[in-house]
Structure 1
């Protein structure tokens, strides 16, 4: 069973790399690169950081417990890796928000006026709350077992909802950026599908494929980390031990 998992996990890693390459290439090749000076180049950090944090790193952190070779490790180690990856994802998303707010302030554009911005800020707020709740509920040694068992299904459900919000905010943001730049500051209209539009549309499709892959891995119950000490845990650990 593990070889099937690793096939899909390898696909997920390939999609992660492609998403990162596409979003960086878009902003380097067509949008002029990066700066931190409240110019248009300052804004370019926003899509790169949000896709990197809210989609790629978040999605990979969500499936840490599903990777079979981690089942031989102490669960605390997996918790720390999961929490650490999520923390870096949260930092990247906050830097991404800072980039867009600084850019708006520099060119006197209102903040939080679009559906994309509302979904995005809600996603980061929920993500922050989820991370703090997870830290208190699962990593602090003083939290009693009954709190952890009660919090676990809520934590898992919220994690999936945040990923859906992340995918929606990134895709809507990419589309909004194309509409504003190609229809407002470019000779080529979005509807004419210039090379940039085709390239970035493919980025959107890659993000969708990445999200589907993450949810596909999370959906398969046999790929869940077995509970320590159970008969199922011993059998599955035997399967993944070379």
Structure 2
């Protein structure tokens, strides 16, 4: 498979960095902060960074690149759509619970809500993410929209998904910096205590994870081919390993697009190919 080694390296690196980020955020709240609870206090607030990192960043990133895994290419497109949508739904649920946690904490501690740029952008990201999820399910999973609408919306769907993912990481970086500035008093954040250094490293891990996911998601040569082409290559390959479909990765997209101009069914195949961008 052309580019298989590079893909595996990038995928493994993203997985390791993402998992280490989760370990870091758990270590932060359990060791440096008050732990986790649902009591309206600081321990409830700590669910906010934990759920954002686990759900809104790690699971969202996984959902973005799930189509790119060549080991899943023998799965039906509907199955992959369900996995893609399911991961996004879980990520959205985590984001909503994270918002509830921070609002409960603020209300209990008599802290004003929605006063910082971090809170504004965070709420906007959750709202736009919910719209992206609803439109994605309505357009591509059910689908209830005409083929022409689906094709026209696809570039927006792909762009907004990648933009949202990058934005969520940026907002998370703002949030953890804000928490350190307000939460560290003796010594202060500017004095670089161990907690500050530890959380700064967490921020770097989130940036690296985001960069790896975006790299994997935007490489055309790693795009999932159409179901028809995968079936043909797998059939012609006989008993060979299923990853043998890989050498044609960079050529599959062009070939399928050329065949997609015939009739409505082929236009649907072309649309399905486009959906593999995420």
Q: Is TM > 0.5 for Structure 1 vs Structure 2? A: yes
Tell me if 1:207 matches 2:206.
Answer: yes
TM-score (norm 2): 0.81
- Given that 1:22 and 1:203 are in contact with CA atoms closer than 8 Å, whether structure 2 keeps it comes out as yes
Once the two structures are overlaid, the 10-residue window that deviates more, 84-93 or 34-43, is: 34-43
Deviation at 1:234, TM superposition (A): 3.7
Change over 3 Å in CA distance of 1:237–1:143 after alignment to 2: farther
> Paired residues, what number?
238
Tell me if 1:188 matches 2:187.
Answer: yes
Give structure 1 stretches of 5+ with no counterpart. Answer: none
- Given that 2:125 and 2:168 are in contact with CA atoms closer than 8 Å, whether structure 1 keeps it comes out as yes
**d(CA) in 2 for partners of 1:23, 1:240:** 37
Give the SS at the match of 2:73: helix
Q: How does 1:67-146 map to 2 (within 5 A)?
A: 67-146=69-148
Question: Which residue of structure 2 lines up, in the alignment, with residue 162 of structure 1?
Answer: 164
Q: Deviations over 1:51-110 (max 9, x none)?
A: 111111101110011111111211111100000000000000000000000111111111
Deviation at 1:152, TM superposition (A): 1.4
**d(CA) in 1 for partners of 2:128, 2:4:** 33
Tell me if 1:147 matches 2:149.
Answer: yes
Tell me if 1:227 matches 2:226.
Answer: yes
- Given that 2:216 and 2:222 are in contact with CA atoms closer than 8 Å, whether structure 1 keeps it comes out as yes
Deviation at 1:230, TM superposition (A): 4.6
Deviation at 1:240, TM superposition (A): 4.1
Q: Deviations over 1:34-60 (max 9, x none)?
A: 111111111111111111111111011
- Given that 1:2 and 1:239 are in contact with CA atoms closer than 8 Å, whether structure 2 keeps it comes out as no
- Given that 1:123 and 1:165 are in contact with CA atoms closer than 8 Å, whether structure 2 keeps it comes out as yes
Deviation at 1:140, TM superposition (A): 0.9
Deviation at 1:7, TM superposition (A): 1.3
- Given that 2:76 and 2:227 are in contact with CA atoms closer than 8 Å, whether structure 1 keeps it comes out as no
Q: Of the two, which has the highest radius of gyration?
A: 2
Give the SS at the match of 1:72: coil
**d(CA) in 2 for partners of 1:80, 1:38:** 35
**d(CA) in 2 for partners of 1:58, 1:104:** 26
Deviation at 1:16, TM superposition (A): 1.0
Q: CA RMSD in A?
A: 1.9
Deviation at 1:117, TM superposition (A): 0.5
**d(CA) in 1 for partners of 2:145, 2:165:** 26
Q: Deviations over 1:127-185 (max 9, x none)?
A: 00000000100111443322222221111011011011101110000000000011xxx
Q: Which residue, out of 44, 47, 56, partners 2:46?
A: 44
